[in-house]
């Protein structure tokens, strides 16, 4: 809905007054009064809205996780918001013939590099479940060696999300599913077999013919997120906590950023409390001596900077309905309430929720296009054993877009957490 323009409205009404004197009088008295009253009401409304939002906001957006991709050529190491998930990705890996010879001798599939497959979830599912082999060549200065290659799902980035769940638990922060759409499309290219190579040859290039997938394969792609690993030592000697058992480790505010939140990554430490006081980070644990803390700096407030690939996040939209969806998400009983939850995420440009239906089994056409982005959580308490299936139907805004199925899976995962007695699956119609 377009915002009402009071000034334009007054100008239009002025033109309807034929008498010039009455028009001047209307403009000086009625027009000015109406505009001031309108501006006062608008300001009061904004203040009331901000007050309600601040009271109902669950604070989830403070720890929202943003993800995107870039290629090696466009990677900006000075970017203050997004960082490489794996810093080693920013450096090209060089393989020696000896490494390849040793791997082939031990009949080990050697991981060469990681690619991004810009295809839908069902296409990637079909590829990974087909045991497909590809042919290629390993080029050295002297000659070319034929080789056989395969692709496997890259687990490195997905494991980092699993670790992040444990970190959220240690920090007593509520977990919101990370949108893994990009990470699920990262594939490792592995060497399965090759001709015998010389000992001292230098590899110049490895080329793989991905056949019909060739146009969808993106090389030297780096996943980025808004979490930065830092290390900070306890600023002073720890003070005894009020329980006389634990100690409070304080990291001074001048060593931290006031605009960021922080997550303690030391999951092996028995942490009883983490809090922020006047910008200082205070960690309560049994250690009575200063120690080096590993932290995730969580950057907030994405400003809309353009990256090579769209930025995806698990942040609720900044709206009253978005905040209410988080607060009342566990009392969803109607289609309208479910739609409100789904629409509270910023994915209206990809997906539109239609309806849902309870069925007896997962439709076969949905098996390849569905995966649970929280599937690694094993300690969830569930009320049933998935005897019934909740089928959610969505209409894609851009039919054929490679992210459609993954965005659908992210939204279905949100619904799955609310309805543990059902197996929730999505379908694009």
- What values do phi and psi take at 335, rounded to 5? -60, -40
Domain shared by 195 and 210, yes or no:
yes
Domain shared by 210 and 259, yes or no:
no
Domain shared by 321 and 405, yes or no:
yes
Which of 225, 255, 288 is the last residue before a domain boundary? Answer: 225
Give pLDDT, residue 319.
52
Q: Is residue 325 part of a domain?
A: yes
Which of 298, 331, 356 is the last residue before a domain boundary? Answer: 298
Domain shared by 98 and 188, yes or no:
yes
Domain shared by 71 and 189, yes or no:
yes
Which of 171, 197, 225 is the last residue before a domain boundary? Answer: 225
Express each pLDDT in 269-302 by its tens digit.
Answer: 889 989 888 889 999 999 999 999 999 999 987 8
- When pLDDT is averaged across residues 355-383 and rounded to a whole number, the result is 87
Q: How many CA atoms lie within 13 A of 147 on its CB side?
A: 29
- What values do phi and psi take at 424, rounded to 5? -95, 135
Domain shared by 21 and 34, yes or no:
yes
Give pLDDT, residue 45.
79
How far is 80 from 222, CA to CA, in rounded Å? 16
Give pLDDT, residue 344.
87
Mean pLDDT of the chain: 87
Q: Is residue 306 part of a domain?
A: no
Predicted model pTM: 0.81
- Residue 418 and residue 329 in contact, taking contact as beta carbons nearer than 8 Å: yes
User: How many domains are contained in the chain?
Assistant: 4
Domain shared by 77 and 169, yes or no:
yes
Containing structural domain, residue 405: 316-428
Write the DSSP string, 147-166.
EEEEEEE--HHHHHHHHHHH
50: helix, coil or strand? Answer: helix
Q: Is residue 310 part of a domain?
A: no
- When pLDDT is averaged across residues 306-326 and rounded to a whole number, the result is 74
Q: Is residue 376 part of a domain?
A: yes
Residue among 299, 313, 210 at smallest CA distance from 257: 299
Express each pLDDT in 63-89 by its tens digit.
Answer: 999 999 999 999 999 999 999 999 999
Domain shared by 253 and 344, yes or no:
no
Q: Is residue 98 part of a domain?
A: yes
Domain shared by 170 and 74, yes or no:
yes
Domain shared by 130 and 204, yes or no:
yes
Q: Indicate the burial class of 379 (C-beta count within 10 angstroms; 0-12, 13-18, 19 or more).
A: exposed
Express each pLDDT in 100-156 by its tens digit.
Answer: 888 888 888 899 999 999 999 999 999 999 989 999 999 988 889 999 999 999 999
Q: Is residue 304 part of a domain?
A: no
Domain shared by 321 and 410, yes or no:
yes
Query: How sure is the predictor about 324, in pLDDT bands with cuts at 50, 70 and 90?
Result: very low
pLDDT at 330 exceeding the cut of 80: no
Give pLDDT, residue 58.
44
Q: Is residue 1 part of a domain?
A: no
- When pLDDT is averaged across residues 46-56 and rounded to a whole number, the result is 60
Q: Which of 193-197, 225-229, 327-331, 361-365 has the lowest mean pLDDT?
A: 327-331
Residues near 395 by Cβ (< 8 Å), separated by ≥ 6?
Answer: 351, 352, 354, 428, 429
- Tokens in use for 231? 């290390």
Query: How sure is the predictor about 2, in pLDDT bands with cuts at 50, 70 and 90?
Result: low
- When pLDDT is averaged across residues 400-416 and rounded to a whole number, the result is 96
Give pLDDT, residue 134.
97
20: helix, coil or strand? Answer: helix
Express each pLDDT in 159-170 by its tens digit.
Answer: 999 999 999 999
Q: Residue 383: beta bridge partners? A: none
- pLDDT above 90 covers a percentage of the chain that reads 56
Q: Is residue 35 part of a domain?
A: yes
Q: How many CA atoms lie within 13 A of 306 on its CB side?
A: 0
Residues near 314 by Cβ (< 8 Å), separated by ≥ 6?
Answer: 64, 65, 176, 177, 178, 179, 345, 410
How far is 33 from 11, CA to CA, in rounded Å? 14
Domain shared by 159 and 207, yes or no:
yes
- pLDDT above 70 covers a percentage of the chain that reads 90
């Amino acid at each position: 809905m377009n915002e009402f323009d009071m000034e334009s409205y007054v100008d239009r009404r002025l033109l309807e007054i034929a008498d010039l004197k009455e028009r001047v009088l209307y403009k000086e008295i009625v027009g000015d009064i109406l505009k001031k009253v309108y501006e006062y009401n608008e300001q009061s409304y904004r203040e009331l809205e901000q007050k309600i939002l601040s009271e109902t906001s669950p604070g989830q957006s403070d720890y929202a996780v943003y993800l995107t991709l870039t290629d090696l050529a466009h990677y900006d190491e000075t970017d203050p918001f997004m960082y490489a998930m794996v810093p080693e990705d920013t450096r090209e890996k060089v393989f020696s013939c000896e490494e390849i010879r040793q791997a082939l001798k031990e009949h080990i599939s050697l991981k060469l590099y990681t690619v991004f497959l810009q295809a839908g979830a069902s296409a990637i599912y079909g590829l990974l479940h087909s045991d497909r082999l590809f042919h290629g060549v390993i080029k050295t200065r002297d000659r070319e060696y034929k080789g056989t290659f395969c692709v496997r799902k890259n687990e490195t980035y997905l494991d980092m999300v699993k670790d992040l769940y444990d970190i959220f638990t240690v920090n007593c922060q509520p977990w919101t599913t990370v949108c893994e759409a990009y990470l699920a499309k990262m594939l490792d290219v592995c060497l399965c077999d090759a001709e015998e190579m010389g000992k001292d040859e230098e590899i110049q290039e490895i080329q793989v013919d991905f056949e019909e997938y060739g146009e969808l394969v993106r090389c030297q792609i780096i996943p980025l997120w808004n979490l930065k690993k830092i290390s900070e030592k306890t600023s002073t000697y720890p003070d005894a906590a009020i329980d006389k058992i634990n100690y409070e480790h304080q990291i001074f505010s001048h060593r931290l950023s006031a605009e960021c939140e922080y997550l303690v990554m030391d999951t092996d430490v028995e942490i009883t409390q983490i809090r922020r006081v006047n910008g200082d980070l205070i960690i309560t644990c049994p250690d009575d001596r200063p120690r080096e803390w590993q932290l995730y700096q969580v950057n907030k407030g994405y400003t809309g900077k353009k990256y090579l690939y769209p930025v995806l996040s698990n942040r609720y939209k900044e709206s009253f309905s978005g905040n209410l969806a988080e607060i009342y998400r566990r009392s969803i009983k109607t289609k309208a309430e479910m739609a409100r939850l789904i629409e509270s995420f910023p994915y209206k440009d990809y997906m539109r929720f239609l309806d849902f239906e309870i069925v007896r089994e997962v439709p076969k056409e949905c098996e390849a296009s569905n995966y649970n982005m929280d599937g690694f959580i094993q300690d969830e308490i569930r009320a049933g054993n998935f005897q019934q299936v909740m089928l959610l139907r969505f209409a894609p805004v851009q039919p054929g877009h490679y992210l459609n199925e993954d965005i659908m899976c992210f939204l279905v995962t949100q619904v799955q957490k609310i309805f543990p007695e059902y197996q929730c699956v999505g379908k694009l119609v």
